[in-house]
Each structure stands twice: as C-alpha cells, then as structure tokens.
Structure 1
C-alpha cells in the first residue's frame, strides 16, 4: 500500500527543459528486440530481482508477442503482452512490429530519459519499405535538439548485417553528421546464448566497419567501451509466468543470472550514454533537414506564384481603368492579399472538378472544395500539402479495394492532405496610384516571380540529386491543379487569361530546365557532387532570400512556419510518457540512473 501523501505513480516530466533530456535512438534489424529492450527497462527500474518482478505487475510499455514451444509436448503457442494498437503490428511474420517511430519518456528523478523506438531495418517488404522506414526515422528525430546515444541493436550470431549497416551506418552518417560516430553504441541482445560475448557477429561487424572507414573515411569505434551485452529473455520469462507457464528450476536459475547481468549492463549503458558529446539534430544543417524544407516550400511557392499572376493582372486592369478615368488613381491599386488559416486537425479534401465549384465572393470568383472527405485525418507517413501522394490510398476515407473515396467516389490520387486553408481577398494599397506607380508594382511583382522560380529550380535540382525517396515533381502537380482551377473560373465568366498564361509559362519553363538538368546529371556517377547541385548548407541561406522578398516573402515564411508547427504537433502525438509505480523510486536501477544522470 502506498504511504500517505506518496503518489501511487511516478508521472513523466512533461514540462522539462528539452536541453536536459537524455535522448536515445534505437536502430536495428526487424526482430532484433527493440520493443523488448524498452519493456525490459520498464521492469528493471521497478524491481531489483527477477523473483520480485514475478510477484509484481508486469510493466508492458509496448504491446508485443512471441512464440513459445513446450519442452515436453512441443506444442507451440503465442504469448501476447499488452493491448495491440495502431502503432504496433505483431501478427504478420517478418514485418517490423513497430510501424512508425515513437518515443517512450521515462521519469528519472527530475530528468527525462527518452527512448526512441524506430521501425526495423531489413523488413520483408523489401528495400523500398526500408527506405521509407529510414526516411520516417530521419524526419521524426528532427523534432529533437540532440541525441545522446544512437544504439544499434544486434544479435550475437547474426549473418545478415549488410542491409543493416548500409542504412544504419552509411545512411545515418550521411544524413546527420560524421560526428555522430561518437554517439554510436552497439547493443547485443539475446547475449545469454553466447555467454555474454559478441559471438560470430563480432568478426563480420569489424570487417564492415573497416570497409566503412575505407570508403567514407569515418572511423566508427567498436570496443568494449561502446559495446553492451544484454539479454532480452528475462522479460519473456516474466511474460511466460504471467501467462501461467512454469519452467523448471534450472531454467529459472539461468534467467535469474541473466536478469542480474542485464541490470548491471543497463546501468553501464546509461553511464556511457550520458558521457557522450551531444549530437545536434535540429540545429545541424543536415541533408534530411534541407530535403524536408524543400518539400515544405512546394505549396507556398506554387500559391505565391499564382498570387503574383493574379496581382499582375489586377495591376494591368487598374492601369487600363486609370487611363480611361484618371480619377480612379486616387482609390489606390487593388491587390490580392493572402490569409493563412491553420486547421485544428489535418484534413483530407478532394480536388477533382466534380467536387469543386466556382463561387463569387466580393466580385471575385473562387473555387470552393465541396468534399471534405476526412475531417480529422492523422494518416501515417503522408507528406503534408502534397498532391498525388501514394500514401493517400491508406486514408480511412478510401476503399482499399477500388482506390476510390467512400464519400465522394473519386480516386485517391485526386485527394490532398492539408493542414491549413489559403484565402485571398482584394485590398487597395494606401495612397494614389499613378501610372508610374502601377508600372513599378508590375515590375516588382515580375522580379519576385522570377526570383522565386529561380530559387525553386535550384531547390528542385538539389532534391533530385539527393533525395532518399523517389520524387514526384510536386510543383508541377500544383501548377496543373491551379491551371485547372483557373479554367473553371474562366468557364464561369472570369477574365483571367493572364493568370492562366503565366502559370502555363512557369510550368513550361520548369519542365524544360529540369529535363535538361536530369539528362545531364543522371549520367554522372556522383549526382550530389555535380557543379549544378547545391550543398545542403547552402539551402538555408538560399531559402532566406525568399523570406526577405519585400512583397511576398513574409507569406512564404508564414506558411512554412505553420507546416513546421503542424509537423511537430503530429510528432508529439507519438510521445508516450511512461508512468511507473512509486516503488520504482527506491529500486537499485533507478537510484543508479539518478546518480548517473544527475552527475552529467
């Protein structure tokens, strides 16, 4: 029974300074035991001995399952722990149980120990799924300021390390920074079977690291100092006991020894992690961050390009009116102004013509989306604000057999995942507008449009040369979409030929330049080193020139900032603050953790 005034549970530190958090990323092949690593930790910090844990409530932070074969009958049964949820899938053989990144935040005194569980590498769905999983990992960790440790989990007698290292070492260092090698830690699971030694894996691992150093000039250490040998089996033993399975005395004794050894190794592991130099993530000008920024700019740039065309046309029409009636100059130059309206939840909308209709608001023709097909759509992995994203097929609004929307009956490819609405309204610039003023405004708008086009072409070339995932030309999808909308407005009576022509010219110019670029660069061995391709650290200063554009720069920045906020909100929904029973405060492991972390 809890003492009077003593809380029954230790709750997470939700309002801590993020710079004091201990952030640990777990990477490894599918089935290596990342989820069991986290579940085991939750039990070690609550109980000092295996027997004590058997008499206590099992701590199951992540639902999981494993097969058990009875020694006498050879009957096989599945042992399940915890309740399945949308994040975990343990029924399909060979698939990664963890389907997307999640963080599990353990309270350690007044600090947070955050364990980031990532999808497994070496998924049976193939290299494309591995690539998507790795992109998901890079995107997810970008929300954190730093990583203390990057734990690569291995089995001691593992023959299939090639896939793992291509992604977890080569790709990780390429997308973060070479200094990440100081934070890499090797954790061997199921080490009881090899008497807590690295086993046959050691020789293969060392050869791969030597080859990595030769190819990339990056020395990733593999020594006793950054290598830890654990055993995941004690947690499975607990699960068996809770499911009524009894093992003989010899087996129990073996698990007790394994528990004691693993508890010590966890403490050694934490001690090593907190002595590592912090590896900056969000402040590092990494390739992944640059790629993310370029993707976020697509919708804002396309919308600003259309806005500029609309304003050029408005200025031309006003000039014609002033020539006919000079008194109109006093009214000021009419220009469209954009307003960004963040949505409370991400939304799936249909952009098919039959689900849109032209409406007139304040003498302006606009397009209204009539089909809001999924009002609160937290679809996993979809790229926000992208048209024709294949992952839209997995939206709840879609019929998985036909690929059509259950609400509007249009194809998934005609749907868009949005986090904000974009509205325009006409305002008049202050002061009178002489013919010279109007001409200058038109010239300034054209100048900004050219600068925006030039910057985006450079960004698109960077993306084509460096992208992890195969790319669509997202800007073309948007331009085609806006041209269709303008055609609908024209058919309903709008005089918008200049807008349509300007968008068509922008699309043609982009297609021609990109096609020539692709033909040139695709023949080069190292595309990212081409003289026509920006370096990742040049991206941010180039985008800064967009933000400083005097007429439209602030709106571009506002849209990108809004997307950053929405992405962070979505990521934070995948943080689990682990609540531990109050007895954990007095456990040996927790006391050791507190001493280690408080001394850093």
Structure 2
C-alpha cells in the first residue's frame, strides 16, 4: 500500500451530541476583527509559541486580506491569506468581509466548539444592510438548541460604539429573552495598543449600559469577569512572514508578548463561556420565528388567492355550461389543482414581460418564464421567496455597476428568487355536480378567500409593528405580478376578466386597510402594544387555522413546509468542520480547553 505524504488531521464530529456542543456567537462592527479572531484561534490551537508558528504552516480558516505599508519605502502592499470563496468579500475597501453567517466547528477532544461568524454591523453600504444582517443572524442561530456565549467584539478606542451597541444589545435583547444578558461577554480586540486595557471605550460602554438598564430594565453586566482583552495582530504577523515581509526585532518581541498574553485570555474566555448558564435558543425566539413564518406565508397565500379566483371562474363557467346542457353535470366540476415542485437549488429567474411567454397546455393559457438567470443561487441573506428585494443586486447574475442581469439584461428589480415551482392543472371533482353543488363550491371558495385575506392582514399588521426590516408589502408585489400575468393571458385570448377583477379587488382592499393601520400605529410610542397587533405567541395558532381550511389549507402548509426544508438545507451549507493538524490535539491551549470543557 502506497504511503501518503498527507499530514494526519483532527476534525470536528458532525454526529456528536448537540447538547454537548459549546456554541459561541460573535458580533461586532466592521473592522473589529471577527474573522481574525477565528483565524488566530486556529493558530493558537496548533502552536504554543509565535516562534513555533513562524516555522509551521499558517492556519487560514477564513480567507483574509489587509494592507501593509513598508516603513522604509512607504510602499503599500495587499497581503492575502487563504482561498477566496463566495462567503467572504475581502477585497473591497470599507465593506464587510463576512457576507453571511457561517459556523466554524473546532474539535476539542470528544466535544465540538462552534464559533458562529456573523455578518459584521456598520457596513458602509448603509443601515438597511445592517438590519438585514441582524435578521439573518437571528435566523441562523435559531437552528441551534442553545448558545453558551454571545461575544460582542469591540475596539478599545471606538468612537462608533453607539451604532454597534444599538444593534448588538438593543435589537438582540428585543428578540431574545431577557435572560440572555447572562451570556453576553465583551471582547476587546487590538488591545495591545492600549496596553491590554479597555481604553476610552470603557466609559462610553458604561453610559450606554446604564441607559439600556433605565430604558429596558435589563442589567447587562460589564466587569472583569465577563470582559476579555485580546490582540490577534500576531496572526497578521504570521501572514506577513508567509508573504516574505520581515519585521525588526523590536516588532517581533512585541508580537511575542501579544501572542503569550492572548493565549491566556483565550483560555480565560472559554472558561467564562462554558460556566455560563445555557441560553435556550428554541424557547426564546418566538418573535423572530413568528416574523419568519409570516414572511414565508406571503408567496403561498398570494398563489392560493389567485387559485381561488381561477376556481371560482371555472365553477361559474361550468354552471353556465350545465344550464345550457344538463348532461355536463355528470362530468364533475372542473377545478385547478396546484402542484408544488421543489427545486434542487434556489434559483433566480427574470419576471420581466419580455422574458416570459404565453403557452397553451391542455386548452389552458399559461405563462412560462424562460430566463433562468442563475440556476444555483445561494443568495446571501435571502431565506424566503422574494420579488424586488435589494439583496437581488448581490446575485452573481447581476452586473454590480449597471444593476442589470448578465444573462437577460433586465434590471435586478425584475428578478425573483425561488426555491420551488408552482404548476396548476385542471382536474374534475368526483361524481355528478348539481347546480346547488356548484353554488356551494363557489360560496365555500369565497368564504376561504375572505378568511385567508383577513388572516394575512392580521399577520401583515404584526410585521409592520414588530419587524426589524423595513416592510415592502411583498403580497402587493405578488398580486401585481399575477395581475400582469392574467393580462397577458387575456391578450392571448383567455376569458379571465373575473380573475383579474378578483385580484384587483383583493389588492385594493389590502392597500386601504393597511394604509389606515399604518397611520394609526405610527402615532403610537410602542407600536407592538397596539390593540390591533397580535402577540407573537398568537401567530402560530392563527396560522394553524389557515392550515385547517378545508379546500386550500393543506396546500398552504405544504408550501411553507417546503420553504422550511429549503432553508434548513441552505443553513447546513454554512457550517465548516475545521480540520487541524494532529499535533493540535496536544497543544497547551487545546489541553486547557479540554480540561475546562470536561470539568463543566
């Protein structure tokens, strides 16, 4: 058997008991060094000293890039470490490096240490991306049973701390249970510059924490027990060495001291994390889960609303035909049945009129979208079916300068991100169908339509009052799309005036009621406490009544379940099992980690 030169590696166990995992969420603003935190940890686990690390292969779990200026020539050079991938954007100045949540699972004996790397807050592209990033963080961590630690990374002299704090504290505690304050840990990076002290940030942080306690009655501790001072610049030193840059002895000594101090702090940090009471994620995400569920319902409800209109029209046409020819009553009532076809991968398609065409299938006019612009589109941050979402600009099919699709040349706003296809075909209800049966079917369909509309309006009001994200009324986008499709069918000869009129009436009713609601709650201080707004725990029982509707409830549930499965698949692609050289298993830091984790 041929010998291999591949080094022996240790790797986290994906099948380990998740209740024993140590889960740590990292939060911070642009430039604070979240990715460097993870890369540095990988190197500390492999080498006991900086001198040893200089001789070893650098561990670059996450691709990284930074600028270095030569002190003698003042020449600037870009240093890159690791292989670039679609998850990281490490080459554009001022933009967030981590583009979406990913978890990095380190092997620690028979347990896993999961470090969750989140999109950083304070992106130069604006506040809207910050709110979407935070929503993505909440969605991502909801897959885990618990969090051991929520680490907020700060710079010791950070003037923009207020922006970070409002997102990482106020928004976090708004969506989590108040008990989460026990798991919040402050980690100061780049602390070598302030002699491993919190610096000016300490005073600002205390003021903000006091204000938070006054406004929300939540006491978030800030003491030496939950505060840690690191400096991971030694990772950058290793990166410079690997790129042929040599620094003087004074600089080397400084980095050696930083390395030795930071390894001790990492050990103290892990000890703090594992001794915290577990924060049960599954029991504390009712608000975020409710938001997620309501957003997932938008496309299914819009499609069922259209289906109901089609079936009412089919029933009315059949009634007219039976009146002319009673023999037709024995053929059964024709009704459209919907079929959900899950896609192997999320897809971006163009919905512009020029990228679709009318086709006739079994004497029915249908609209076919012919431009599949990105067949496997794992778009950053998108967890729902969406139309005209600004995140569509980030799709690989889009030209980032013009905003137009590289495949069909239509604007990004005319594209849709989908995880399933929706088809309808006419079938006949079993048995003969009297005129009274037809009238009852029409009445039942209209009754379901009214119930669905009323339920969705309540759900939409909940979103308007509670959502972190600016709400775009996705239901209106879908109704406009379906009205346009029906108009195209009409131009091709379909007799579908009732369908068009029904969709227009639903759209008008929704717009009028929501406009009145928005004017009412905008004047209220606490929008979520309005008497017209559901509580998060009421969402699930209300949606349950939607699922139990006798004609269309099971179809709505099937679509939502499909979206949940697709979201789970997407999230699973965002977990990395970190492989480390076998020698890491016996490093000083790894031994400390094992002792800490086994004794707690």
Whether contact under 8 Å (2:108, 2:590) holds in the other structure is yes
Helix, strand or coil at the partner of 2:461: helix
Answering whether residue 314 of structure 2 is matched by residue 314 of structure 1, we say: yes
- Are residue 441 (structure 1) and residue 441 (structure 2) matched? yes
Aligned to 1:474: 474
Q: CA deviation at 1:217?
A: 0.6
- In the alignment, which residue of structure 2 is the partner of 1:392? 392
Q: Quick one: structure 1 residues 39 and 495, their matched pair in 2 at CA, closer, same or farther if it must change by over 3 Å?
A: same
Closer/same/farther in 2, CA of residues 46 and 300 from structure 1, 3 Å limit: same
Q: 1:317 to 1:128 in 2, by over 3 A?
A: closer
CA–CA distance in 2 between the matches of 1:500 and 1:74?
A: 68
Aligned partners of 2:587, 2:139: CA distance in 1, in Å? Answer: 36
Any idea what the Cα deviations from partners look like across 1:544-563, whole Å, max 9, x if unmatched? Answer: 21112121111111111111
Gaps of 5+ in 2: none
Residue pair 1:464, 1:471 contacting (<8 A) in 2 also: yes
Aligned to 1:215: 215
Q: CA deviation at 1:272?
A: 1.8
Matched, 1:149 2:149: yes
C-alpha spacing 1:355/1:176, structure 2 compared with 1 (3 Å): same
Does 1:174 find its partner at 2:177?
no
Tell me how far 1:147 sits from its aligned partner: 1.8
Query: C-alpha distance in 2, partners of 1:366/1:450?
Result: 26
Measured against aligned partners, the alpha-carbon deviations of 1:361-407 in whole angstroms (never above 9, x if no partner) come to 22222211122222222232346321222232333333444433333
- After TM superposition, give the deviation of residue 470 of structure 1 in Å: 1.9
Determine the C-alpha separation between the residues in 1 that align with 2:380 and 2:556.
26
Decide whether aligned partners of structure 1 residues 5 and 481 sit closer, same or farther in structure 2, where only a CA change above 3 A counts. Answer: closer
Residues 405-448 of structure 1 deviation map (CA, whole Å, 9 limit, x = unaligned): 33333333222111110011122223332333333222221111
Deviates more, 1:324-333 or 1:580-589: 324-333
Which has the larger displacement, 301-310 or 101-110? 101-110
Work out whether residues 383 and 567 of structure 2, in 8 Å CA contact, stay in contact via their aligned partners in 1.
Answer: no
Is contact 2:334-2:429 (8 Å) kept? yes
In 2: Cα distance, 1:244 partner to 1:358 partner: 62
Is the 1:19–1:145 contact (alpha carbons within 8 Å) kept by the matching residues of 2?
Answer: yes
- The 2-side partners of 1:191 and 1:558 are apart by 52
| Residue 558 to residue 284, structure 1, CA distance change in 2 (3 Å) | farther
Aligned residues of 2:99 and 2:380 also touching (Cα < 8 A): no
1:238 aligned residue: 238
Aligned position for 1:412? 412
3-state SS of the aligned residue for 2:98?
Answer: coil
Equivalents in 1 of 2:123, 2:494: separation in Å? 53
Displacement after TM superposition at 1:305 (Å) = 0.7
Say which is worse superposed, 295-304 or 284-293, in terms of deviation. 284-293
Calculate the TM-score normalised by the size of structure 1: 0.93
After superposition, residues 65-104 of structure 1 pair within 5 angstroms as 65-70=65-70, 76-104=76-104
Structure 1 residues 348, 251: CA separation in 2 closer, same or farther (over 3 Å shift)?
Answer: closer
Whole-angstrom CA distance in 1 between matches of 2:152 and 2:77: 30
- Aligned pair 1:54/2:54, yes or no? yes
Is the contact made by 1:285 and 1:537 (CA closer than 8 Å) also made in structure 2?
no
- Count of residue correspondences: 598
**CA distance 1:19–1:307, shift in 2 (3 Å):** farther
Q: Cα distance 1:435–1:63, how it changes in 2: closer, same or farther (>3 A)? A: same
Corresponding residue SS for 2:416: strand
What is aligned with 2:42? 42
For the 8 Å contact 1:386–1:416, the answer to whether it is kept is: yes
Aligned partner of 2:572 in structure 1 is: 572
Residues 329 and 471 (structure 1), Cα distance of their counterparts in 2 relative to 1, 3 Å cut:
same
Instruction: Say which SS state the counterpart of residue 337 (structure 2) adopts.
Output: strand
Mean Cα displacement is larger for which, 354-363 or 511-520?
354-363
Taking a change above 3 Å as real, the CA distance of residues 181 and 421 of structure 1, as seen in their structure-2 partners, is same
Match of 1:257 in 2: 257
Q: Distance in 1 between matches of 2:365 and 2:249?
A: 81
TM-aligned CA distance change 1:448 to 1:283, over 3 Å: farther
Q: Are the equivalent residues in 1 in contact too, given 2:8–2:581 (CA < 8 A)?
A: yes
Q: How far apart are the structure 2 equivalents of 1:203 and 1:254? A: 27
The answer to which of 148-157 and 298-307 deviates more is: 148-157
| TM-score relative to the length of structure 2 | 0.93
Q: Tell whether 2:421 aligns with 1:424.
A: no
Structure 1 partner of 2:365: 365
Q: How far does residue 328 in structure 1 lie from its aligned partner after superposition?
A: 3.2
The residue aligned with 2:458 is 458
Q: 1:201 offset after TM fit, Å? A: 2.0
Paired residue for 2:548?
548
In the alignment, is residue 9 of structure 1 matched against residue 3 of structure 2? no
Superimposed CA distance per residue, residues 271-316 of structure 1 (whole angstroms, 9 cap, x where no aligned partner): 2212222323344343332222211111100000111111222222
Other structure's SS at 2:31 match: coil
The 2-side partners of 1:49 and 1:242 are apart by 16
2:523 maps to 523
Query: Which residue matches 1:273?
Result: 273
Alpha carbons 2:54, 2:241 under 8 Å: kept: yes
Superposed, 1:364-383 pairs within 5 Å as 364-382=364-382
